[in-house]
């Protein structure tokens, strides 16, 4: 199948060729025809399957065919600044080959709002934003959503899991009821299904599960104290050129990256408290090869596209099965082979074996346990001991609790 057979206009066919796209991925082949025809769409596909282009291409083509009106005419909501930035860049790259100039604006928090307000003075055709910063722009009268013809929710499950549900409802109240809505997600917890029922009108539903087949998963049993030396051994033996190591906290990220660097590895660091400039620099260094091992908290679990990422290592397990899916989805992208390694520590306070067994149950796949020579654990959980499970992804975050407290205080004040 070719992009031409899916109904793309000649200008966009030229754009995809210039971006190096040779043939549509499964999610693109399934999503483009209904999206180009103006239908609402609910697409479930693994990370790395090409979801961004699956909505970017029809969005651009439909905007070219529509009559101009005050913007933005399209709104793309993303859960993280990294995903928003990468989505905006892809849209700009594709739009650069089009005969009609489309203005693409980008907004996310963690940086000053003033440059983003200045950039909107001339208006825009497409707004790519995180929910919180978009609400800030609306409060500052920086733009209106009354002209939105197409709404895209990218990583819809992450939008809800990140505690954006209240912001999302406030934003939805400001976009026209009559519009096209495209929802893309890697997982479909009950909240996402409920959101689809609320937002979508007679949607086309597609489900593609191809990316995970390209990932070889491993589960290594060891003691907590062995993780750092075992990690170093793995990195030396495997010969990976780009590796993403996931940890649970900023403190652990700094500790692991410092220890790796001290042992001669080209290690970098990524966590939520870094400035946007620092995040951009370390990702550029990873792409350039000056950083080979990036130690990250879950700020990097979604929304990052890293070319030719050889492996993901779960130094510490994620708190939910959905987060596991998104972590390992950073590798094995676009048909490439990838590896996902998880450390299973029987002596961890969190009962890692139970954590991982629930992950296996949710993904419907058993991962054989293995041990590294020289790093055999002193204690291994038995079947009877492996009880309980990982924390629910619906557990309220600190951000959610602060919002609820503020809302209650405001209510009491009335």
Phi, psi torsion values for 342, nearest 5 degrees: -120, 135
Q: Is pLDDT above 90 for 243?
A: yes
pLDDT of residue 385: 45
pLDDT of residue 393: 40
Q: Is pLDDT above 80 for 169?
A: yes
DSSP-based helix, strand, coil % in the chain, nearest 5: 45, 15, 40
For residue 81, the Cα-to-chain-centroid distance in whole angstroms is: 10
CB 280 within 8 A of CB 111: no
Average of per-residue pLDDT across 23-50: 87
H helices present in 221-372, as ranges? 227-238, 250-262, 276-288, 321-328, 352-363
CB 37 within 8 A of CB 12: no
- The neighbour count for residue 266, using CB atoms within 10 Å, is 15
pLDDT of residue 34: 94
- Please report, rounded to a whole number, the percentage of residues in the chain having pLDDT higher than 90: 42
Residue-wise over 59-84: b if at least 16 C-beta within 10 A, else e? Answer: bbbbbbeeeeeebbbbbbbbbbbbbb
pLDDT per residue over 107-122, tens digit each?
999 889 999 999 998 8
Q: Is pLDDT above 60 for 328?
A: yes
The pLDDT confidence band at residue 83, using thresholds 50, 70 and 90, is confident
Of 51-60, 216-225, 276-285, 297-306, which range is least confident? 297-306
Q: Provide the token pair at 353.
A: 């074996």
Phi, psi torsion values for 150, nearest 5 degrees: -135, 125
d(CA 330, CA 327): 6
Contacts of 82 (CB under 8 A, 6+ apart): 279, 283, 299, 300, 303, 304
Average of per-residue pLDDT across 116-145: 93
Please tell me which residue, 405 or 136, carries the higher pLDDT value: 136
Is the sign of the CA dihedral 218, 186, 128, 16 positive or negative?
positive
pLDDT of residue 404: 58
CB 257 within 8 A of CB 268: yes
Average of per-residue pLDDT across 127-148: 94
CB 29 within 8 A of CB 2: no
3-state secondary structure of 42: strand
pLDDT of residue 218: 92
Please tell me which residue, 25 or 306, carries the higher pLDDT value: 25
pLDDT of residue 235: 94
pLDDT of residue 401: 55
Structural domains in the chain, CATH included, are: 4-208 (3.40.50.300), 211-370 (3.40.50.300)
Please tell me which residue, 98 or 259, carries the higher pLDDT value: 259
pLDDT of residue 61: 92
d(CA 124, CA 72): 5
d(CA 126, CA 149): 10
DSSP of 131-174, one letter per residue?
Answer: HHHHHHHHHTT----TT--EEEETTHHHHHHTT-HHHHHHHHTT
Of 68-72, 88-92, 390-394, which range is least confident? 390-394
pLDDT per residue over 181-227, tens digit each?
999 988 888 888 888 888 899 999 998 865 445 788 999 999 999 99
The pLDDT confidence band at residue 124, using thresholds 50, 70 and 90, is very high
d(CA 163, CA 79): 10
d(CA 2, CA 13): 10
Mean pLDDT, the chain, rounded, equals: 84
Q: Is pLDDT above 60 for 18?
A: yes
CB 371 within 8 A of CB 344: no
Q: In what order do the strands lie in the sheet with 104-107?
A: 104-107, 126-129, 74-77, 150-153, 180-185, 41-45, 204-208
Contacts of 314 (CB under 8 A, 6+ apart): 246, 324, 327, 328, 340, 341, 342, 343
pLDDT of residue 160: 81
pLDDT of residue 104: 95
Residue-wise over 283-302: b if at least 16 C-beta within 10 A, else e? Answer: beebeeeebbbbbbbbbbbb
The pLDDT confidence band at residue 41, using thresholds 50, 70 and 90, is very high
pLDDT of residue 407: 53
Q: Is pLDDT above 80 for 414?
A: no
């Amino acid at each position: 199948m070719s992009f031409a057979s899916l109904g793309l206009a000649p200008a966009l066919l030229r754009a995809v060729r210039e971006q190096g796209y040779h043939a549509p991925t499964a999610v693109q082949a399934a999503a483009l025809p209904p999206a180009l025809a103006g239908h609402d769409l609910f697409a479930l596909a693994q990370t790395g399957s090409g979801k961004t282009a699956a909505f970017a291409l029809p969005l651009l083509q439909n905007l070219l065919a529509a009559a101009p009106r005050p913007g933005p005419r399209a709104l793309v909501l993303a859960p993280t600044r990294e995903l928003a930035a990468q989505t905006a860049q892809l849209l700009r790259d594709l739009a650069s080959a089009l005969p009609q100039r489309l203005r693409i604006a980008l907004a996310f928090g963690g940086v000053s709002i003033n440059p983003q307000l200045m950039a909107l003075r001339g208006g825009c055709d497409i707004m790519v934003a995180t929910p919180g910063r978009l609400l800030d722009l609306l409060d500052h009268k920086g733009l209106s959503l009354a002209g939105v013809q197409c709404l895209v929710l990218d990583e819809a499950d992450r939008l809800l899991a990140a505690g954006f549900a209240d912001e999302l409802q406030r934003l939805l109240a400001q976009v026209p009821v009559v519009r096209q809505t495209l929802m893309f997600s890697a997982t479909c917890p009950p909240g996402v299904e409920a959101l689809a029922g609320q937002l979508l009108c007679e949607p086309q539903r597609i489900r593609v599960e191809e990316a995970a087949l390209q990932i070889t998963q491993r589960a290594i049993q060891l003691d907590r104290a062995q993780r750092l030396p075992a990690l170093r051994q793995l990195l030396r033996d495997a010969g990976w050129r780009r590796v993403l190591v996931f940890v649970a906290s900023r403190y652990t990220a700094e500790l692991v990256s410092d220890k790796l660097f001290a042992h001669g590895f080209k290690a970098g660091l990524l966590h939520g408290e870094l400035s946007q400039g620092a995040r951009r620099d370390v990702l550029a260094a990873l792409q350039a090869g000056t950083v080979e091992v990036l130690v990250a908290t879950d700020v990097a679990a979604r929304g990052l596209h890293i070319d030719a990422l050889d492996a993901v290592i779960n130094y510490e397990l994620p708190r939910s099965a959905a987060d596991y899916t998104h972590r390992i989805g950073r590798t094995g992208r676009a048909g490439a082979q990838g590896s996902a390694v998880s450390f299973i520590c029987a002596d961890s306070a969190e009962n890692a074996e139970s954590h991982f067994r629930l992950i296996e149950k949710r993904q419907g796949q058993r991962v054989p346990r293995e041990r590294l020579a020289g790093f055999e654990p002193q204690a291994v959980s038995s079947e009877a001991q492996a009880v309980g499970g990982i924390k629910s992804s619906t557990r309220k975050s600190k951000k959610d609790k602060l919002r609820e407290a503020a809302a209650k205080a405001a209510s009491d004040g009335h």
